[in-house]
């Protein structure tokens, strides 16, 4: 009834323990040219969230959700 789901509600999750070797592995994954785009995008999201960014900032930075979604 005229209500469309909102893609971007600003939520910042608490930081979690994310070992540097795991981050390094994800960064290597992101730089790979042989991985599927969707999986690389998910790795980028995880890395950005691990920086402590809010979901709105992550979405805007990575272009995963916009006003016309």
Query: Per-domain residue ranges for the chain?
Result: 20-62
Distance CA(35)–CA(58), nearest Å, equals 21
Quote the pLDDT of residue 13: 67
Average pLDDT on 9-13 reads: 69
Query: Using an 8 Å Cβ cutoff, are 40 and 32 in contact?
Result: yes
Query: Which tokens is 43 given?
Result: 């790795």
Quote the pLDDT of residue 69: 45
Give Rg (Cα) of the chain. 14
pLDDT tens, residue by residue, 14-32? 667 788 999 999 999 899 8
Query: Which tokens is 30 given?
Result: 């992101």
Query: Which tokens is 63 given?
Result: 């272009």
């Amino acid at each position: 009834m005229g209500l469309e789901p909102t893609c971007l509600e600003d939520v910042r999750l608490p930081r979690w323990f994310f070992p540097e070797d795991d981050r390094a592995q994800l960064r290597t994954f992101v730089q790979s040219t042989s991985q599927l785009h969707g999986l690389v995008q998910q790795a980028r999201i995880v890395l950005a969230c691990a920086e402590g960014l809010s979901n709105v900032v992550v979405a805007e930075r990575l272009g995963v959700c916009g006003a016309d979604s």
